[in-house]
Amino acid sequence: MDTLLAMEPVLITLAQDEGVDRSLLDYVVSGGPIGAIILILSLVAIGMISAQIFRIRREKLSPEALVEELRPALAESDVERAIELCSDEENASYLARVVGSSLTRSARSPFGMLELRSTVEETGQLEIDRLYRLTDGIGLIASIAPMLGLLGTVVGMVGAFDAITMAEGPARPDQLAGSISTALITTVLGLIVAIPCTSAYTYLRNRIDHLTTEINELIDELIAPLEQASASQGQGS
């Protein structure tokens, strides 16, 4: 409902400028079917933004309890224990998926832990892409909403010209008011949805980049003992 609340000051200002006392619902209804679609998109966007804000947090992506358990296990090269920790549903997170998948693949590889770093980088990128998906949906709504507003504007203007064509003599203002109102309101609704969605999209993308970079540095620190042990075994052989 945040988007609806954001609409109200703008639409009230329009009403005051026009000297008309209209409610927010009146403006939404005057947008017609296209306005209703934009309203539905705004509700979807609110849900997606809320879900991403809850999901993209340090404690959700990299639980401190998991880090504290993984650190000694990896320091002692206890790969099975580390995989078991990452497979636990209670530890489900970006960190667990990257470390768990990378250790599992490396343990099954003939090269062993020598390819651990490349596996971590590959798995990490897949997980980052997974985090981006819902955010990309917000960006899609930010792109579609103003285009729907423009479509509503075109449809409204077509209706206005049809009213002029069908009028016997000069068209009266009341014959044009409905179509012109639809034309203007859909544009306003589209922009009101698009602007916060664009801001949220940029913020969430930057948030993902910032947190995953920090967590990837932590992963490098955690797997360093395994890489050193693997390198020592390679030199010893």
Q: State the average pLDDT for the chain.
A: 81
Q: Pick 16 or 74 by higher pLDDT.
A: 74
pLDDT, residue 157, reads: 76
Whether the per-residue pLDDT at 49 is higher than 90: the answer is: yes
Q: Are 43 and 197 in contact (CB under 8 A)?
A: no
Range among 82-91, 203-212, 216-225 with highest mean pLDDT value: 203-212
The answer to which of 55-59, 81-85, 127-131, 152-156 has the lowest mean pLDDT is: 152-156
Over residues 96-116, the mean pLDDT reads 83
How far is residue 81's CA from residue 68's CA, in Å, rounded to a whole number?
A: 13
What is the reported pTM? Answer: 0.77
CA distance 71 to 224: 10
Question: Which is more confidently placed, 80 or 111?
Answer: 80
Q: What's the rounded Cα separation, in Å, for the pair 170 and 100?
A: 75
pLDDT digits (tens, 9 = 90+) for 77-97: 888 999 999 999 999 999 999
- Asked if pLDDT for residue 3 goes beyond 70, the answer is no
pLDDT at 168: 57
Query: How much of the chain exceeds pLDDT 90, in percent?
Result: 49
Q: How far apart are CA 20 and CA 11, in angstroms?
A: 11
Is pLDDT of 204 > 50? Answer: yes
pLDDT per residue as tens digits for the range 153-188: 887 777 665 555 665 555 555 555 555 666 778 888
How many whole angstroms separate alpha carbon 85 and alpha carbon 82?
A: 5
Residue 95 has a pLDDT of 94
